[in-house]
Amino acid sequence: MTDYTKLPVSDYLTALSAGTSAPGGGAAAALTASQGVALMLMVLNFTDGHDMAKAPLLSSLPDRRDSFLEMIQQDIDAFNSVMAAYRLPRQSEPDKLARTDAIQTSLQAAAAVPAEIVREIAHLEPALSLLVEIGNKNLVTDTGIAASLFIAAIKASKLNLLINVRSMNSLNAASYDAVLASTEELIARFENIENQIADTLVA
């Protein structure tokens, strides 16, 4: 099995653009979020050490970057499970019941990945706000681009949540109401950071 997190960038993009369904948008969202964290780390690495006394909030960034990377494969595996469930036989009533159960279970797993992307990004908003305050001002655009990448990842994850939730039974779908409801406010918070930085560039 291919480990997409170990591929050269060009090979990953070839796989993403191939005539297969995975990796797809969910993997792209996870990678986008990981790149946002990587930019935060870059800014941090160029920030004077005396500011770091204020930044224990930033100590988890390497783990969060790696967590998003792991979600690339998690999303691929979850999507493949959904496809496998839909291909199950449905000739008899027991077949149909087993297939329905497998589809619902696999959809839950598929929705769990974008939901986790959204939740993880939400945890990063205070750290990014702190980085705006203490980060190297020569790299302020990189901090802003991190916000832009998080916005893109949230929007992409919301779309992936919606397409999975619409095929769930009502009970399973309801478990994602809260994370879906949180996306617009979360996007607005990161847009506020993005705009705050943009304003400093045109002042």
pLDDT digits (tens, 9 = 90+) for 139-152: 999 999 999 999 99
- For residues 140 and 42, the answer to whether their CB atoms sit within 8 Å is no
- For residues 139 and 41, the answer to whether their CB atoms sit within 8 Å is no
Question: Which amino acid is it at 73?
Answer: Q
How far from chain centre, in Å, is Cα 131?
20
What's the CATH number where 198 sits?
Answer: 1.20.120.680
Shortest CA distance to 106 belongs to which of 131, 80, 87, 128? 80
Distances (CA, A) of 183 to 22, 31, 59, 179: 24, 18, 25, 7
pLDDT at 61: 92
Supply 90's token pair.
């449905």
Q: How many Cβ atoms are within 10 Å of 151's Cβ, its own excluded?
A: 21
- Residues of the chain below pLDDT 70: 1, 50-55, 203
Query: How many whole angstroms separate alpha carbon 78 and alpha carbon 174?
Result: 20
The domain total for the chain is 1
Q: What does the pLDDT look like over 26-63, one tens digit per residue?
A: 999 999 999 999 999 999 989 877 555 566 778 889 99
Alpha-carbon torsion 24, 27, 33, 37, what sign? negative
Query: How many whole angstroms separate alpha carbon 69 and alpha carbon 31?
Result: 6
Could you tell me the end-to-end alpha-carbon distance of the chain, in angstroms, rounded to an integer?
A: 51
Domain coverage including residue 95: 4-202
